[in-house]
Chain A
Amino acid sequence: MSLDCSIDSSVDFEEWGAILSAPLNGGRYPLSATFELTNRCNFNCAHCYINQPANDEAACERELTTEQVKAIIDQMAAAGVLFLTLTGGEPLLRPDFAEIYTYARLKGLLVILFTNGALITEEIADFLNDLRPFSVDISIYGASRSVFEAVTRVSGTFSRCYAGIERLLSRGIPLSLKTELMTLNIDEIAEMKAFADEKGLKFRYDGLLWPRLDGIGEFPREVQLPLDMVVDLDNWDNERHDAVKTEIVRLKDLKTRDERVFSCGAGLRSFHVDSEGRMSICMMVRSPSYSLLEMPFMEAWERLGSLRKMKRSVISKCQSCTLNVLCSHCPGWSLAIAGNHESVVEFVCDHGKLRTENGLGIKSSELMEVMENYE
């Protein structure tokens, strides 16, 4: 008998990422978490769904304490969580950010940091360089100062964000960029993408803006792009164009329509924890949620599992729709707008129909086949 304990069989992170979407013996495993450390932010973006002012004392008092955050991280690590996304609000606003981040890394969690980049000082960049993150994701809101700060509504954010990007780049820290597109910044999409390409960074974007989670304000959002402009991005951007093709081919093999409310991956390998310690099935579906201050992590995880088994109870037009192949509708939208998991949000429905109709021009015959399967 040989020892056969070679460690040649290293698995790179991309393969581990693939595990998140693989069957894994059909079981549910909590491998990936998003953890909002705060709802507060030093930006005041026109489109944001969650932000509270950076100095909001009431919001600050509701946040988990350092020890409570650590206790939750302990439970995540014990449960086998590998990927931990620290987000907000702006997570770097917390004075204990470095302590929390260090704690998570030393527990063997691979940390992804979602940030606006403005608080990445030389000191923070050196700190991240020493105890490296899996990735840093920075949101950019424009390629020029005027556009960027029309979105963030805080002076000085443009130069601080781009300085943060350069600090990470100079240290070779894994970085990707993203943006939310809206009426204020759509004219600079090409420049933002060119900047990312020039730096060799991944760049992703979305054009459907969420309502505020606290229910305040309008929907669709005032700065929401017209839906035909959002859909046209599938034609303008080659990578997006190819992603649509790939998605259509994937759907062709699925054949049947799913009867479950949660037919996505929410709660299968992943979950969300908000700034007050409530655990939910995903970032956009925050009800039901279970307080990790009152309930052991694994019990909350099991309860979320029962949500995944829920079958649709409402016969809606979605069931007979064949134009929803590329639809973005999900229980998160229903919950945000109608307060339940199944109601149709017309705005998102309209986007889905437009996107599918546009998809016919991208990959016509395959898409027709998917639509026939739906019938």
Chain B
Amino acid sequence: MEALFKLTDRKIVRSNNFIFRQIVEELVLVPIRQNVAELDSIYTLNELGAFIWGKLESPKSHTEIEEAVLADFEIDVETVRTDIQTFIEELGSIGAVEEA
């Protein structure tokens, strides 16, 4: 699974295993399907996580996500690359994204 998302030219997209919601002041991913990694947890996202989740409504490559983040947030390129990689891997490990 992890190797799949390291290929920056491959596109990924949201799976239908989670619903993104705002509950009070929290931005959360609520699991709905039984085949997700941890059904008994809700995953909280910060503003940037929610931004990336928003972009993944349609298939995006790692590079496209990176460009979108750099256009909207003041972050250096190296940090973005590493952190997006980690974040996407985490989304993949809980079944929240899949290869488009």
Contact = CB atoms under 8 A, between A and B. Distances in A.
Contacts of A3: 48-49, 69, 75, 79-80, 83-84, 87
B43 A130 contact: no
Contacts of B90: 6-8
Given A11-B41, A77-B21, A5 B30 contact: no
Contacts of A13: 40-42
Contacts of B43: 7, 9-11
Interface in B15-36: 19-24, 28-30, 32-34
Interface string A249-291: 0000000000000000000000000000000000000000000
Nearest to A1: B75
Contacts of A129: 34
Contact of A132 (B39, B46, B84, B87): B39
Contact of A7 (B24, B73, B75, B94): B94
Contact of B33 (A12, A77, A131): A131
A5 B83 contact: yes
Given A108-B19, A108-B20, A10 B44 contact: yes
Nearest to A27: B24
Q: Chain A interface: which size bin?
A: 20 to 34
Contacts of A11: 28, 41-44
B86 interface: yes
A26 to B, nearest CB: 12
A61 interface: no
Interface string B5-21: 00000000000000111
B56 interface: no
Contacts of A6: 49, 86-87, 90
Interface in A109-153: 109-110, 129-132
A319 to B, nearest CB: 35
B41 A12 contact: yes
Given A6-B86, A7-B44, A80-B22, A108 B30 contact: yes
A257 to B, nearest CB: 30
Interface string B49-89: 10010000000000000000100011110011001101100
Nearest to B46: A5
B49 A24 contact: no
A233 interface: no
Nearest to A105: B32
Interface string A298-318: 000000000000000000000
A82 B32 CA distance: 12
A4 interface: yes
Contacts of B84: 3
A29 interface: yes
Given A108-B20, A108-B32, A130-B33, A2 B44 contact: no
B27 to A, nearest CB: 10
Nearest to B19: A108
A31 interface: yes
A20 B33 CA distance: 24
A16 B20 CA distance: 16
A7 B49 contact: yes
Given A1-B74, A108-B21, A7 B38 contact: no
Interface of B: 19-24, 28-30, 32-34, 38-46, 48-49, 52, 69, 73-76, 79-80, 83-84, 86-87, 90-91, 94
29 contacts: A1-B73, A1-B79, A3-B48, A3-B84, A4-B83, A5-B83, A5-B87, A7-B29, A9-B43, A9-B44, A10-B38, A10-B43, A10-B44, A11-B43, A11-B44, A12-B40, A12-B42, A29-B24, A80-B21, A80-B22, A80-B24, A82-B30, A106-B32, A108-B20, A108-B30, A110-B30, A131-B33, A132-B32, A132-B33
Which 6 residue pairs spanning A and B have beta carbons closest together? A108-B19, A5-B49, A3-B83, A10-B41, A108-B30, A5-B48
